[in-house]
Chain A
Amino acid sequence: MRVYIKDYYSTKFGELWEKSLGDLISEVISGLLSSSGIDKKRIDAVFVGNMLSGMLDENLLLSAKVNDILGNLGIPVVRSEAACASGGVAFYNACQYLRAGEGENVIVLGVEKMSDFCMEDVVSALASALAGEEQQAGLTFPGAYALMAQYYLSKYGYTEEDLAYVAVKNHFFADLNDKAHFRQKISLDDVLKSPYVADPLKVLDCSPISDGAAGLILSAERSDVEVLSCCVSTDTHTLSGRQSLDAIKSVQRSSEKAFARAGVQQEDVDIVELHDCFSIAEIIIMEDIGFWRKGEGGQRIKEFSLENPFKVRPVVNTSGGLKAAGHPVGATGVKQIGEVFLQLKGAAGARQVPEAKVGLAQNTAGSGGLSVVSILSR
Protein backbone atom coordinates (compact mmCIF):
# COMPACT_ATOMS: atom_id res chain seq x y z
CA MET A 1 0.00 0.00 0.00
CA ARG A 2 1.20 3.52 -0.71
CA VAL A 3 1.25 6.17 1.97
CA TYR A 4 0.34 9.84 1.55
CA ILE A 5 0.36 12.85 3.81
CA LYS A 6 -2.88 14.76 3.80
CA ASP A 7 -2.28 17.48 6.34
CA TYR A 8 0.04 18.94 8.96
CA TYR A 9 -0.44 21.07 12.04
CA SER A 10 2.08 22.38 14.54
CA THR A 11 1.68 24.35 17.74
CA LYS A 12 4.14 27.12 18.45
CA PHE A 13 7.41 25.76 19.88
CA GLY A 14 8.81 27.53 22.90
CA GLU A 15 8.23 28.01 26.61
CA LEU A 16 4.46 27.52 26.58
CA TRP A 17 3.70 28.14 30.24
CA GLU A 18 -0.07 28.15 29.76
CA LYS A 19 -0.24 24.84 27.92
CA SER A 20 -0.09 21.39 29.52
CA LEU A 21 0.85 18.17 27.70
CA GLY A 22 -2.87 17.52 27.21
CA ASP A 23 -3.47 21.04 25.91
CA LEU A 24 -0.74 20.61 23.30
CA ILE A 25 -2.16 17.28 22.12
CA SER A 26 -5.62 18.82 22.01
CA GLU A 27 -4.48 21.79 19.96
CA VAL A 28 -2.82 19.56 17.36
CA ILE A 29 -5.72 17.17 17.03
CA SER A 30 -8.34 19.88 16.62
CA GLY A 31 -5.98 21.81 14.35
CA LEU A 32 -5.52 18.79 12.08
CA LEU A 33 -9.18 17.88 11.98
CA SER A 34 -10.36 21.39 11.24
CA SER A 35 -7.74 22.18 8.58
CA SER A 36 -8.18 18.83 6.82
CA GLY A 37 -11.93 18.77 7.18
CA ILE A 38 -11.77 15.05 8.00
CA ASP A 39 -14.39 13.69 10.40
CA LYS A 40 -12.64 12.22 13.41
CA LYS A 41 -14.67 9.03 13.05
CA ARG A 42 -12.65 8.30 9.90
CA ILE A 43 -9.39 8.18 11.88
CA ASP A 44 -8.43 4.53 12.30
CA ALA A 45 -5.47 4.87 14.67
CA VAL A 46 -3.15 7.36 16.34
CA PHE A 47 0.63 7.05 16.65
CA VAL A 48 2.13 9.17 19.40
CA GLY A 49 5.78 10.03 19.88
CA ASN A 50 6.98 11.28 23.28
CA MET A 51 10.14 10.83 25.32
CA LEU A 52 9.83 12.33 28.77
CA SER A 53 6.24 12.19 30.04
CA GLY A 54 7.12 9.16 32.16
CA MET A 55 10.41 10.35 33.62
CA LEU A 56 9.50 13.98 34.25
CA ASP A 57 5.72 14.05 34.51
CA GLU A 58 5.15 10.53 35.91
CA ASN A 59 2.46 10.33 33.28
CA LEU A 60 2.37 7.23 31.13
CA LEU A 61 -0.30 5.42 29.14
CA LEU A 62 -0.53 8.39 26.81
CA SER A 63 -2.68 6.13 24.65
CA ALA A 64 -5.56 6.54 27.06
CA LYS A 65 -4.92 10.26 27.42
CA VAL A 66 -5.05 10.76 23.66
CA ASN A 67 -8.19 8.68 23.46
CA ASP A 68 -9.86 10.97 26.01
CA ILE A 69 -8.88 14.00 23.96
CA LEU A 70 -10.31 12.38 20.84
CA GLY A 71 -13.59 12.04 22.65
CA ASN A 72 -13.21 8.40 23.56
CA LEU A 73 -13.30 6.93 20.08
CA GLY A 74 -11.71 3.74 21.46
CA ILE A 75 -9.40 3.39 18.43
CA PRO A 76 -5.86 2.00 18.68
CA VAL A 77 -3.42 4.56 20.05
CA VAL A 78 0.23 3.48 20.09
CA ARG A 79 3.05 5.36 21.83
CA SER A 80 6.61 5.18 20.59
CA GLU A 81 9.70 6.06 22.59
CA ALA A 82 13.09 6.36 20.98
CA ALA A 83 14.44 9.36 22.87
CA CYS A 84 14.78 12.25 20.39
CA ALA A 85 13.54 10.07 17.54
CA SER A 86 10.25 9.25 19.24
CA GLY A 87 8.38 11.33 16.65
CA GLY A 88 10.20 9.76 13.72
CA VAL A 89 9.57 6.27 15.02
CA ALA A 90 5.87 7.07 15.56
CA PHE A 91 5.79 8.14 11.92
CA TYR A 92 7.60 4.92 10.90
CA ASN A 93 5.04 2.82 12.79
CA ALA A 94 2.18 4.72 11.16
CA CYS A 95 3.62 4.04 7.70
CA GLN A 96 3.98 0.33 8.45
CA TYR A 97 0.37 0.24 9.66
CA LEU A 98 -0.94 1.82 6.48
CA ARG A 99 1.30 -0.24 4.19
CA ALA A 100 -0.06 -3.35 5.87
CA GLY A 101 -3.54 -2.24 4.98
CA GLU A 102 -4.66 -2.08 8.59
CA GLY A 103 -6.43 1.25 8.11
CA GLU A 104 -7.08 4.19 5.79
CA ASN A 105 -6.33 7.35 7.78
CA VAL A 106 -4.15 7.80 10.83
CA ILE A 107 -2.89 10.68 12.93
CA VAL A 108 0.80 10.87 13.81
CA LEU A 109 1.40 13.11 16.78
CA GLY A 110 4.63 14.15 18.45
CA VAL A 111 4.48 16.05 21.73
CA GLU A 112 6.77 17.16 24.53
CA LYS A 113 6.31 19.29 27.62
CA MET A 114 9.65 20.31 29.16
CA SER A 115 9.31 23.76 30.73
CA ASP A 116 7.24 22.48 33.67
CA PHE A 117 10.36 21.01 35.28
CA CYS A 118 13.57 22.38 36.80
CA MET A 119 16.61 22.52 34.55
CA GLU A 120 18.63 19.99 36.51
CA ASP A 121 15.88 17.38 36.20
CA VAL A 122 15.50 18.03 32.49
CA VAL A 123 19.26 17.75 31.87
CA SER A 124 19.35 14.49 33.82
CA ALA A 125 16.31 13.18 31.95
CA LEU A 126 17.78 14.00 28.54
CA ALA A 127 20.94 12.15 29.54
CA SER A 128 18.84 8.99 29.82
CA ALA A 129 19.20 8.73 26.03
CA LEU A 130 22.82 7.81 26.69
CA ALA A 131 23.91 4.36 27.85
CA GLY A 132 23.78 3.87 31.64
CA GLU A 133 27.52 3.41 32.00
CA GLU A 134 28.21 6.68 30.19
CA GLN A 135 25.65 8.55 32.30
CA GLN A 136 27.37 7.03 35.33
CA ALA A 137 30.67 8.47 34.18
CA GLY A 138 29.18 11.96 34.27
CA LEU A 139 28.69 12.27 30.52
CA THR A 140 25.85 14.61 29.59
CA PHE A 141 23.93 14.70 26.36
CA PRO A 142 25.78 17.76 25.02
CA GLY A 143 28.97 16.08 26.28
CA ALA A 144 28.44 13.12 23.95
CA TYR A 145 28.18 15.38 20.92
CA ALA A 146 31.07 17.46 22.23
CA LEU A 147 33.26 14.34 22.14
CA MET A 148 32.28 13.91 18.48
CA ALA A 149 32.86 17.61 17.78
CA GLN A 150 36.31 17.64 19.42
CA TYR A 151 37.31 14.58 17.42
CA TYR A 152 35.96 15.99 14.17
CA LEU A 153 37.61 19.39 14.59
CA SER A 154 40.97 17.79 15.47
CA LYS A 155 40.85 15.21 12.70
CA TYR A 156 39.89 17.52 9.84
CA GLY A 157 41.48 20.72 11.06
CA TYR A 158 38.33 22.82 11.50
CA THR A 159 37.60 25.42 14.17
CA GLU A 160 34.73 26.32 16.48
CA GLU A 161 33.97 29.16 14.09
CA ASP A 162 33.27 26.67 11.30
CA LEU A 163 30.69 24.98 13.52
CA ALA A 164 29.06 28.32 14.28
CA TYR A 165 27.80 28.66 10.69
CA VAL A 166 25.15 26.04 11.39
CA ALA A 167 23.36 28.07 14.07
CA VAL A 168 23.57 31.26 12.02
CA LYS A 169 21.91 29.55 9.04
CA ASN A 170 19.19 27.91 11.11
CA HIS A 171 18.32 31.12 12.95
CA PHE A 172 18.07 32.89 9.59
CA PHE A 173 15.32 30.44 8.58
CA ALA A 174 13.57 30.35 11.94
CA ASP A 175 13.12 34.08 11.69
CA LEU A 176 10.79 33.27 8.76
CA ASN A 177 8.88 30.55 10.64
CA ASP A 178 6.02 31.82 12.82
CA LYS A 179 6.01 28.59 14.85
CA ALA A 180 9.71 28.72 15.74
CA HIS A 181 10.96 28.99 19.34
CA PHE A 182 13.53 31.66 18.43
CA ARG A 183 12.57 34.20 15.85
CA GLN A 184 15.75 36.17 15.70
CA LYS A 185 18.80 36.11 13.49
CA ILE A 186 22.17 35.67 15.14
CA SER A 187 25.74 36.30 14.02
CA LEU A 188 28.88 34.14 14.10
CA ASP A 189 30.14 36.39 16.86
CA ASP A 190 27.02 35.77 18.96
CA VAL A 191 27.68 32.04 18.76
CA LEU A 192 31.38 32.33 19.53
CA LYS A 193 30.75 34.61 22.51
CA SER A 194 28.12 32.35 24.09
CA PRO A 195 29.25 30.40 27.19
CA TYR A 196 30.51 26.82 26.87
CA VAL A 197 28.20 23.95 27.74
CA ALA A 198 30.63 21.12 26.94
CA ASP A 199 33.74 22.29 25.12
CA PRO A 200 33.86 22.90 22.19
CA LEU A 201 30.06 23.28 22.11
CA LYS A 202 28.63 26.54 23.37
CA VAL A 203 25.09 27.52 24.32
CA LEU A 204 24.35 28.72 20.79
CA ASP A 205 25.67 25.46 19.31
CA CYS A 206 22.96 23.60 21.22
CA SER A 207 19.25 23.16 20.62
CA PRO A 208 17.06 24.57 23.39
CA ILE A 209 14.56 23.06 25.79
CA SER A 210 11.11 23.65 24.30
CA ASP A 211 7.48 22.69 24.61
CA GLY A 212 5.47 21.87 21.53
CA ALA A 213 3.49 19.41 19.50
CA ALA A 214 3.13 18.59 15.82
CA GLY A 215 0.80 16.30 13.97
CA LEU A 216 0.20 14.78 10.55
CA ILE A 217 -2.68 13.02 8.89
CA LEU A 218 -1.36 10.05 6.96
CA SER A 219 -3.58 8.27 4.51
CA ALA A 220 -3.76 5.36 2.12
CA GLU A 221 -5.94 7.57 -0.06
CA ARG A 222 -4.08 9.31 -2.83
CA SER A 223 -2.92 12.84 -2.12
CA ASP A 224 -0.29 15.32 -3.39
CA VAL A 225 2.54 14.33 -1.13
CA GLU A 226 3.65 10.70 -1.04
CA VAL A 227 5.90 8.99 1.47
CA LEU A 228 8.30 7.16 -0.84
CA SER A 229 10.18 5.52 2.03
CA CYS A 230 10.64 5.56 5.78
CA CYS A 231 13.54 3.51 7.12
CA VAL A 232 15.03 2.95 10.55
CA SER A 233 18.48 1.79 11.54
CA THR A 234 20.10 1.27 14.92
CA ASP A 235 23.65 1.34 16.29
CA THR A 236 25.37 0.74 19.63
CA HIS A 237 24.06 2.48 22.73
CA THR A 238 27.45 3.59 24.02
CA LEU A 239 29.53 6.17 22.21
CA SER A 240 32.57 4.05 22.99
CA GLY A 241 31.01 1.13 21.12
CA ARG A 242 30.68 3.03 17.84
CA GLN A 243 32.93 2.36 14.93
CA SER A 244 33.82 6.03 14.50
CA LEU A 245 33.35 9.28 16.36
CA ASP A 246 33.09 11.38 13.19
CA ALA A 247 30.25 9.41 11.59
CA ILE A 248 26.84 8.23 12.70
CA LYS A 249 26.40 4.76 11.24
CA SER A 250 22.67 4.59 11.94
CA VAL A 251 22.27 7.72 9.78
CA GLN A 252 24.37 6.18 7.00
CA ARG A 253 22.41 2.95 7.03
CA SER A 254 18.92 4.42 7.37
CA SER A 255 19.51 6.93 4.57
CA GLU A 256 21.04 4.26 2.31
CA LYS A 257 17.95 2.11 2.79
CA ALA A 258 15.60 5.07 2.33
CA PHE A 259 17.23 6.15 -0.95
CA ALA A 260 17.15 2.59 -2.28
CA ARG A 261 13.53 2.05 -1.28
CA ALA A 262 12.45 5.41 -2.71
CA GLY A 263 14.40 4.96 -5.92
CA VAL A 264 15.98 8.42 -5.65
CA GLN A 265 19.49 9.70 -5.11
CA GLN A 266 21.10 12.56 -3.19
CA GLU A 267 21.10 14.95 -6.17
CA ASP A 268 17.32 14.57 -6.53
CA VAL A 269 16.66 16.01 -3.09
CA ASP A 270 15.60 19.67 -2.92
CA ILE A 271 14.81 20.09 0.74
CA VAL A 272 16.09 18.44 3.93
CA GLU A 273 15.06 18.57 7.56
CA LEU A 274 17.72 16.96 9.71
CA HIS A 275 18.52 16.50 13.38
CA ASP A 276 20.76 19.42 14.34
CA CYS A 277 20.51 18.84 18.10
CA PHE A 278 24.01 20.36 18.15
CA SER A 279 25.85 22.20 15.38
CA ILE A 280 28.29 19.32 14.83
CA ALA A 281 25.34 16.99 14.20
CA GLU A 282 24.21 18.88 11.11
CA ILE A 283 27.69 18.68 9.61
CA ILE A 284 28.17 14.98 10.35
CA ILE A 285 24.65 14.05 9.19
CA MET A 286 25.02 15.86 5.84
CA GLU A 287 28.15 13.79 5.26
CA ASP A 288 26.52 10.55 6.42
CA ILE A 289 23.46 10.98 4.23
CA GLY A 290 25.88 11.40 1.33
CA PHE A 291 25.31 15.03 0.40
CA TRP A 292 28.90 15.86 1.35
CA ARG A 293 32.06 13.75 1.50
CA LYS A 294 33.33 12.71 4.91
CA GLY A 295 35.44 15.48 6.39
CA GLU A 296 34.42 18.28 4.02
CA GLY A 297 31.37 19.37 6.02
CA GLY A 298 33.23 22.06 7.93
CA GLN A 299 33.99 23.68 4.60
CA ARG A 300 30.71 22.95 2.77
CA ILE A 301 28.54 24.51 5.51
CA LYS A 302 30.03 27.86 4.58
CA GLU A 303 28.58 27.64 1.06
CA PHE A 304 25.20 28.70 2.42
CA SER A 305 24.47 32.29 1.48
CA LEU A 306 22.27 34.59 3.58
CA GLU A 307 21.64 36.71 0.50
CA ASN A 308 20.63 33.77 -1.66
CA PRO A 309 19.47 31.08 0.78
CA PHE A 310 17.85 28.78 -1.78
CA LYS A 311 20.79 28.69 -4.16
CA VAL A 312 22.71 25.71 -2.76
CA ARG A 313 20.77 22.45 -2.92
CA PRO A 314 19.50 20.75 -0.96
CA VAL A 315 18.26 23.54 1.28
CA VAL A 316 18.63 22.34 4.85
CA ASN A 317 16.43 23.03 7.89
CA THR A 318 14.11 25.77 6.60
CA SER A 319 12.04 25.27 9.75
CA GLY A 320 15.02 26.60 11.68
CA GLY A 321 16.12 23.08 12.58
CA LEU A 322 16.21 21.94 16.16
CA LYS A 323 18.50 24.78 17.07
CA ALA A 324 16.22 27.67 16.23
CA ALA A 325 12.74 26.22 15.73
CA GLY A 326 13.16 24.49 19.08
CA HIS A 327 13.37 20.86 20.18
CA PRO A 328 10.31 19.60 22.03
CA VAL A 329 11.85 16.17 21.86
CA GLY A 330 8.94 13.92 20.84
CA ALA A 331 7.53 16.51 18.47
CA THR A 332 10.67 17.10 16.43
CA GLY A 333 10.49 14.01 14.22
CA VAL A 334 6.94 14.88 13.24
CA LYS A 335 7.74 18.55 12.70
CA GLN A 336 10.53 17.60 10.33
CA ILE A 337 8.14 15.61 8.13
CA GLY A 338 5.64 18.43 8.39
CA GLU A 339 8.14 21.04 7.22
CA VAL A 340 9.07 18.93 4.19
CA PHE A 341 5.34 18.46 3.52
CA LEU A 342 4.74 22.24 3.60
CA GLN A 343 7.66 22.81 1.22
CA LEU A 344 6.40 20.18 -1.24
CA LYS A 345 2.89 21.68 -1.09
CA GLY A 346 4.27 25.13 -1.79
CA ALA A 347 2.89 26.32 1.55
CA ALA A 348 6.11 27.38 3.28
CA GLY A 349 5.54 31.10 2.87
CA ALA A 350 8.66 33.29 3.11
CA ARG A 351 10.90 30.26 3.49
CA GLN A 352 9.52 28.43 0.43
CA VAL A 353 12.17 26.61 -1.59
CA PRO A 354 11.31 27.14 -5.24
CA GLU A 355 10.30 24.01 -7.17
CA ALA A 356 10.64 21.66 -4.24
CA LYS A 357 9.72 18.17 -5.51
CA VAL A 358 11.64 15.72 -3.32
CA GLY A 359 12.33 16.11 0.38
CA LEU A 360 14.15 14.15 3.05
CA ALA A 361 13.63 14.15 6.81
CA GLN A 362 16.17 12.65 9.22
CA ASN A 363 15.57 12.14 12.95
CA THR A 364 18.31 10.90 15.34
CA ALA A 365 17.93 9.22 18.71
CA GLY A 366 20.44 10.12 21.41
CA SER A 367 24.01 10.20 20.19
CA GLY A 368 23.13 8.02 17.18
CA GLY A 369 21.72 4.83 18.65
CA LEU A 370 18.86 5.03 16.14
CA SER A 371 18.03 7.05 13.03
CA VAL A 372 14.88 7.43 10.93
CA VAL A 373 15.07 8.70 7.38
CA SER A 374 11.96 9.46 5.34
CA ILE A 375 11.80 10.54 1.71
CA LEU A 376 8.76 12.38 0.46
CA SER A 377 7.82 13.57 -3.02
CA ARG A 378 5.19 15.62 -4.76
Chain B
Amino acid sequence: MKHTKSAVKLWRRQKKIRSMIGWRGKIVSYTKIRSAGRYFSKFTPYYIVLAEDDKGKRFVAQLVEGDTPQIGKEVEAIVRRSFVGDSSDLVVYGIKFRLID
Protein backbone atom coordinates (compact mmCIF):
# COMPACT_ATOMS: atom_id res chain seq x y z
CA MET B 1 0.00 0.00 0.00
CA LYS B 2 2.36 2.65 -1.22
CA HIS B 3 -0.29 5.32 -0.82
CA THR B 4 0.07 5.05 2.93
CA LYS B 5 3.62 6.32 2.63
CA SER B 6 2.31 9.65 1.41
CA ALA B 7 2.70 12.13 4.25
CA VAL B 8 0.30 14.47 2.45
CA LYS B 9 -2.47 11.86 2.26
CA LEU B 10 -1.98 10.97 5.91
CA TRP B 11 -2.24 14.61 6.83
CA ARG B 12 -5.49 15.09 4.90
CA ARG B 13 -6.92 11.92 6.38
CA GLN B 14 -6.41 13.22 9.94
CA LYS B 15 -9.50 15.39 9.70
CA LYS B 16 -11.69 12.49 8.60
CA ILE B 17 -10.41 10.31 11.41
CA ARG B 18 -10.99 13.05 13.95
CA SER B 19 -14.65 13.39 13.03
CA MET B 20 -15.23 9.67 13.58
CA ILE B 21 -13.75 9.43 17.09
CA GLY B 22 -16.43 8.38 19.55
CA TRP B 23 -18.91 7.30 16.84
CA ARG B 24 -21.14 4.48 17.96
CA GLY B 25 -22.88 1.84 15.94
CA LYS B 26 -24.33 -1.65 16.04
CA ILE B 27 -22.67 -4.56 14.26
CA VAL B 28 -24.43 -5.47 10.99
CA SER B 29 -21.88 -7.97 9.67
CA TYR B 30 -18.35 -9.16 10.36
CA THR B 31 -15.62 -11.46 9.06
CA LYS B 32 -12.34 -12.87 10.35
CA ILE B 33 -9.50 -11.99 8.01
CA ARG B 34 -7.01 -14.87 7.95
CA SER B 35 -4.95 -13.84 4.97
CA ALA B 36 -4.01 -10.24 4.27
CA GLY B 37 -1.66 -8.19 2.11
CA ARG B 38 1.50 -6.33 3.02
CA TYR B 39 1.53 -4.53 6.41
CA PHE B 40 -1.55 -6.38 7.71
CA SER B 41 -0.31 -9.92 7.19
CA LYS B 42 1.68 -9.86 10.43
CA PHE B 43 -1.46 -9.26 12.47
CA THR B 44 -3.84 -11.89 11.13
CA PRO B 45 -6.23 -13.19 12.13
CA TYR B 46 -8.27 -10.13 12.98
CA TYR B 47 -11.94 -9.27 12.80
CA ILE B 48 -13.36 -6.67 10.45
CA VAL B 49 -16.75 -5.33 11.42
CA LEU B 50 -19.36 -3.34 9.50
CA ALA B 51 -21.42 -1.26 11.94
CA GLU B 52 -24.38 1.08 11.50
CA ASP B 53 -25.43 4.06 13.63
CA ASP B 54 -29.00 5.12 14.35
CA LYS B 55 -28.95 7.44 11.33
CA GLY B 56 -28.22 4.49 9.05
CA LYS B 57 -24.63 5.54 8.39
CA ARG B 58 -22.30 2.57 8.06
CA PHE B 59 -18.58 2.15 8.60
CA VAL B 60 -16.02 -0.63 8.27
CA ALA B 61 -13.15 -1.10 10.77
CA GLN B 62 -11.11 -3.67 12.67
CA LEU B 63 -12.34 -4.87 16.02
CA VAL B 64 -9.67 -4.49 18.71
CA GLU B 65 -8.58 -6.52 21.67
CA GLY B 66 -9.38 -9.95 20.29
CA ASP B 67 -13.08 -9.67 21.10
CA THR B 68 -15.58 -11.76 19.15
CA PRO B 69 -18.15 -9.75 17.22
CA GLN B 70 -21.83 -10.58 17.23
CA ILE B 71 -24.50 -9.08 15.03
CA GLY B 72 -26.34 -6.43 17.03
CA LYS B 73 -23.58 -5.67 19.56
CA GLU B 74 -22.57 -2.04 19.99
CA VAL B 75 -19.13 -0.68 19.10
CA GLU B 76 -17.31 2.61 19.64
CA ALA B 77 -14.80 4.17 17.22
CA ILE B 78 -11.34 4.80 18.68
CA VAL B 79 -7.90 5.68 17.34
CA ARG B 80 -5.25 3.00 17.00
CA ARG B 81 -2.27 2.31 14.76
CA SER B 82 -3.67 0.97 11.48
CA PHE B 83 -0.70 -1.34 11.11
CA VAL B 84 3.01 -1.36 11.87
CA GLY B 85 5.07 -0.36 8.86
CA ASP B 86 8.77 0.04 8.23
CA SER B 87 10.78 1.81 10.92
CA SER B 88 11.43 4.94 8.88
CA ASP B 89 7.80 5.40 7.77
CA LEU B 90 5.31 7.77 9.36
CA VAL B 91 3.02 6.08 11.86
CA VAL B 92 -0.38 5.52 10.30
CA TYR B 93 -3.26 6.02 12.71
CA GLY B 94 -6.80 5.01 11.85
CA ILE B 95 -10.20 4.28 13.28
CA LYS B 96 -10.87 0.89 14.83
CA PHE B 97 -13.84 -0.39 16.80
CA ARG B 98 -14.00 -1.45 20.40
CA LEU B 99 -16.93 -3.41 21.80
CA ILE B 100 -18.97 -1.47 24.32
CA ASP B 101 -19.65 -3.66 27.34
Direct contact of A and B (CB under 8 A): yes
Report which A residues bind B (CB closer than 8 A).
120-121, 123-125, 127, 132-140, 142-143, 146-151, 154, 195-201, 238-241, 245
Report which B residues bind A (CB closer than 8 A).
1, 3-4, 13, 16, 28-38, 40-41, 43, 46, 48, 50, 57-62, 71, 82-83, 92, 94-96
Contact B36 A123 (CB under 8 A): yes
Complex alpha-carbon distance, A154 and B71, angstroms:
9
Contact A124 B37 (CB under 8 A): yes
In the complex, given contacts A120-B41, A136-B13, what are 13 additional A-B residue pairs having Cβ atoms less than 8 angstroms apart? A120-B37, A121-B38, A127-B37, A133-B60, A137-B61, A138-B43, A138-B48, A140-B40, A146-B33, A149-B31, A151-B28, A196-B32, A240-B50
CB nearest neighbor in B for A146: B31
Contact A120 B38 (CB under 8 A): yes
Interface of A, helix, strand, loop or mixed by DSSP: helix
Choose from A134, A136, A196, A241 the contact partner of B4 (Cβ within 8 Å). A136
Complex alpha-carbon distance, A123 and B29, angstroms:
22
10 contacts between A and B (CB under 8 A): A123-B36, A125-B37, A138-B33, A138-B43, A139-B33, A140-B36, A143-B33, A147-B30, A147-B50, A196-B34
Complex alpha-carbon distance, A241 and B31, angstroms:
18
CB nearest neighbor in B for A154: B71
Residues of B contacting A124 in the complex (Cβ-Cβ under 8 angstroms): 1, 37-38
| A91 nearest CB across to chain B (Å) | 29
Residues of A contacting B28 in the complex (Cβ-Cβ under 8 angstroms): 151, 245
CB nearest neighbor in A for B16: A133
Contact B29 A147 (CB under 8 A): yes
Complex alpha-carbon distance, A149 and B29, angstroms:
9
Contact A138 B36 (CB under 8 A): yes
Contact B29 A195 (CB under 8 A): no
Choose from A132, A143, A240 the contact partner of B31 (Cβ within 8 Å). A143
Contact B3 A132 (CB under 8 A): yes
Contact B34 A197 (CB under 8 A): yes
Residues of B contacting A142 in the complex (Cβ-Cβ under 8 angstroms): 35
Contact A198 B31 (CB under 8 A): yes
Contact B83 A123 (CB under 8 A): no
| B98 nearest CB across to chain A (Å) | 14
Question: Given A136-B4, A138-B40, A151-B29, are A123 and B35 neighbors across the interface (CB < 8 Å)?
Answer: yes
Residues of B contacting A140 in the complex (Cβ-Cβ under 8 angstroms): 33, 35-37, 40
| B79 nearest CB across to chain A (Å) | 13
Pairs of residues from A and B, 6 with the lowest C-beta to C-beta distance, nearest first: A124-B37, A146-B31, A240-B58, A151-B29, A199-B32, A123-B37
Contact A198 B71 (CB under 8 A): no
Chain B CB within 10 A, most for which of A148, A199, A241: A199
